[in-house]
Structure 1
């Protein structure tokens, strides 16, 4: 009888402990993305308002290298919070988004505090045939080909370091190359000042790569 009573008390304590534990759930999408596409994460939690933590973005190779960190705090309404991580200029490989507490926190066993991200490098799918350094009088000519692009089109956006957004993001047409099946494209974007213009390329499969054009 005593043995049964002890087991009952232990089970009761376990149930009370699990019921009182706070949970936090991290969800990032997509988990497999091409380099250059934004990682979108959401955080849901029943922790008390004012609970603070950092959301860290790491590159995982032989060691974890911190790329960026965003401080976050639970609000009184406990509504879902969101965070974005830019992957422009990173390499393909394994990455990790992880909740790091500013202090000690008792976390429920159902919590999700880390997400593994796989990034693929698609830069080899794009060939640029126009010069990346151009004179202002002739700029900005953006031409090239997309591997196996056919006539599916390609989306481009153009952003100047000083001029800001000057084009897109918009899809432009691609012309099938009969011999290779690649999609050739050419677009003239009128620019009014010398600048470094970052052109981002993407298609139906997501981000492809970014190329900087120097207008002098």
Structure 2
């Protein structure tokens, strides 16, 4: 009887232990290309309607082992169980050798996870870097583009995806570029400066390889276009008018400071524009694309109480001058250029004497 009682007690203890052990399961792709991320997903939910068997906040390590020959640790990540019972870990496979690896989750007490748990996953890392041959130089002189030429074996004309990184930022792609029937590609990628560029090649299967290019040199400094100027007095009721003989390209018109100026201009197509974005401490600026014709400019103070001489400067222009024709184009009154000349004093005096003499005779 005592023996039966002891066996019953031991069985009950085993049942309680099994019932209290947590369920955990990890999963990962069976194959990953070297250079791609290896994502390990985990759950502590045993069934579709079951509750998580691990409390939120539970943490332990997931270890990546190289399993060929003697098993050796490659990397480990700490996982934290969330409220829904899920967790994940991501391993960087760049630089790892191809071969068989084992992913294992650590049982912190050796009894935390139950026997039905899945605590290990095997994965094969496949190196595809030999599938691509890059023909363009890995060191290039800066000319505004990065020359990408090469061949990817086994993809034919399916295209290859390219992503270019510089200074920790993606500056191109990810974007598929054309390959011919032999898998050959050729692309010139615009780049802003010299330095190191990491180019990642992928296809529909996934990651192929990352190639580093070094670009020497820098872009030539851009020269500041010369400014030409003209001056004229201006009030709100009597604006200053100018003619600008433009060059082809972007033309910039800038006023002097000290007064809150308003710029109006009539472009080569006869369309009117008005610019009033700044105050008295910053120059008012108008910028437009010209074809090399004449543009008419009108400048006046924003305030009726302001008056002064405005200097108007133009960049990418052949000449700028005060205009007599512009007022009429803006629909303003044309100022008279000649006033009636008064009679000389001696003629006025002579006329007065004649009047007096004639009056006395009368």
State TM-score, norm by structure 2: 0.52
- Native 8 Å contact 1:139 1:215 kept in 2: no
The residue number in structure 2 matching 1:179 is: none
Q: What SS does the corresponding residue of 1:189 show, helix, strand or coil? A: strand
Query: What pairs up with 1:17-166 in 2 under 5 angstroms?
Result: 17-28=17-28, 30-45=29-44, 46-75=53-82, 77-102=83-108, 104-137=110-143, 139-160=145-166, 162-166=167-171
The separation in 2 between residues aligned to 1:137 and 1:163, in whole angstroms, is: 21
- CA 1:101/1:193 → structure 2, altered by over 3 Å: closer, same or farther? farther
Q: What SS does the corresponding residue of 2:61 show, helix, strand or coil? A: strand
Q: What SS does the corresponding residue of 1:119 show, helix, strand or coil? A: strand
Q: What SS does the corresponding residue of 2:161 show, helix, strand or coil? A: strand
How much has 1:2 moved relative to structure 2? 7.9
- CA 1:12/1:102 → structure 2, altered by over 3 Å: closer, same or farther? closer
Q: What SS does the corresponding residue of 2:201 show, helix, strand or coil? A: strand
Q: What SS does the corresponding residue of 2:18 show, helix, strand or coil? A: helix
* Equivalences, count: 208
The separation in 2 between residues aligned to 1:197 and 1:35, in whole angstroms, is: 20
- CA 1:105/1:10 → structure 2, altered by over 3 Å: closer, same or farther? closer
Query: What pairs up with 1:152-191 in 2 under 5 angstroms?
Result: 152-160=158-166, 162-176=167-181, 182-191=182-191
Structure 1: runs of 5 or more not aligned: 177-181
Q: What SS does the corresponding residue of 2:190 show, helix, strand or coil? A: coil
Structure 2: runs of 5 or more not aligned: 45-52, 217-362
Q: What SS does the corresponding residue of 2:17 show, helix, strand or coil? A: helix
Q: What SS does the corresponding residue of 1:19 show, helix, strand or coil? A: helix
Question: CA RMSD, aligned part only?
Answer: 2.4
The separation in 2 between residues aligned to 1:12 and 1:113, in whole angstroms, is: 26
The separation in 2 between residues aligned to 1:195 and 1:95, in whole angstroms, is: 36
With a CA cutoff of 8 Å and minimum separation of 6, indicate the structure with the bigger relative contact order.
Answer: 1
Structure 1 or 2, whichever has the larger Rg, is: 2
- Native 8 Å contact 2:79 2:89 kept in 1: no
The separation in 1 between residues aligned to 2:153 and 2:2, in whole angstroms, is: 74
How much has 1:4 moved relative to structure 2? 7.1
State TM-score, norm by structure 1: 0.84
The separation in 1 between residues aligned to 2:160 and 2:138, in whole angstroms, is: 18
- CA 1:101/1:107 → structure 2, altered by over 3 Å: closer, same or farther? closer
The residue number in structure 1 matching 2:200 is: 200
The separation in 2 between residues aligned to 1:61 and 1:195, in whole angstroms, is: 39
- Native 8 Å contact 2:24 2:43 kept in 1: yes
